[in-house]
Chains A and B, each alone.
Chain A
Amino acid sequence: EVQLVESGGGWVQTGGSLRLSCAASGFTFSNYDMHWVRQVTGNRLEWVSGTGTSGDSYYSDSVRGRFTASRDNANNSLYLQMSSLTAGDTAQYYCVRASSGTYLMDVWGKGTTVTVSS
């Protein structure tokens, strides 16, 4: 069964840092681009970052310079290091697999919750 399981969410103070992890199983992880998508208040979905098969990462304007995405193909894992967190980063964060060469997001994890407050 294809599965993505996120972990690492929690409560953090404004300005703090947090590292999310995503464990992938049931497919050849190294063959797929992987993304982080977050769902903020009001159910709005926002793309956060993408990481290509070779580890190159790209970011939305709202997180560039504060978040760093990476992957470990040997361990079928995706990571998101988040720093300088603000209340605007409070969201449910989803790890998502993308269909080859596109942003078509075909498999999602259940998500992990990040809450940022003072």
Chain B
Amino acid sequence: DIVLTQSPDSLAVSLGERATINCKSSQTVFHFTKRKNFLSWYQHKPGQPPRLLISWASTRESGVPDRFSGSGSGTHFTLTISSLQAEDVAIYFCQQYDSTPPTFGGGTKVEIK
């Protein structure tokens, strides 16, 4: 199974500042024939279903604010919130969908400093 390791486990950022979350994969999730990274990011707030933010490592979903961005390729990926807002307090997960079973990172809790 592909293991996804997220860091940090939690971080506290001041409103308006940048938050950066890392996701490292034990194997590449770059699909050579499709030329895409099979890596997504989710936001999970208490009492709500997880929300897909980013697919294919860097494609923002419809309706997701442009302060959220994804980058990286192969085995190292990053989710960046460029200017943290109060409504961004949540747990963020990465997921690989390149191979069976699909697997998730351990999550990063983002709070306001």
Which A residues are within 8 Å of any B CB, using their own CB? 4, 42-47, 58, 60-61, 94, 99, 102-111
Q: Does B50 contact A (CB under 8 A)?
A: yes
| Most chain B Cβ neighbours within 10 Å, of A45, A110, A111 | A45
Q: CB of B55 within 8 A of chain A? A: yes
Q: Are B40 and A105 in contact, with the CB atoms below 8 A?
A: yes
Closest to B105 in A: A45
Across the two chains, which residue of chain A brings its CB closest to B97?
Answer: A103
11 A-B contacts (beta carbon < 8 Å): A45-B93, A45-B107, A99-B55, A102-B97, A103-B102, A104-B97, A105-B42, A105-B50, A106-B61, A107-B49, A108-B50
For B107, the chain A residues whose CB sits under 8 A away are 43-45
**Chain A nearest CB: distance from B46 CB in Å?**
11
A112–B53 Cα distance when bound, in Å, is: 23
A residues in contact with B102, CB < 8 Å: 47, 103, 105
**Contacts of B56-113 to chain A: CB distance below 8 A:** 61, 91, 93, 95, 97, 100-104, 106-107
If A104-B55, A109-B49, A111-B49 touch, does A43 touch B97 (CB 8 Å cutoff)? no
B95–A94 CB distance below 8 A:
no
Contact A58 B100, beta carbon cutoff 8 Å: yes
Write the chain B residue with the least CB distance to A46: B104
B48 near A110: Cβ-Cβ < 8 Å = yes
Complex Cα gap A105–B103 (Å): 11
18 new A-B contacts at CB < 8 Å, known A45-B104, A105-B50, A106-B52: A4-B49, A45-B93, A47-B104, A58-B100, A60-B101, A61-B101, A94-B50, A102-B38, A103-B38, A103-B97, A103-B102, A104-B40, A104-B52, A105-B40, A105-B95, A105-B102, A108-B49, A110-B47
Complex CA–CA separation, A45 to B52 (angstroms): 14
Closest to B95 in A: A105
List A contacts of B50 (CB < 8 A): 94, 105, 108
Chain B residues within an 8 Å CB radius of A105? 40, 42, 50, 52, 95, 97, 102
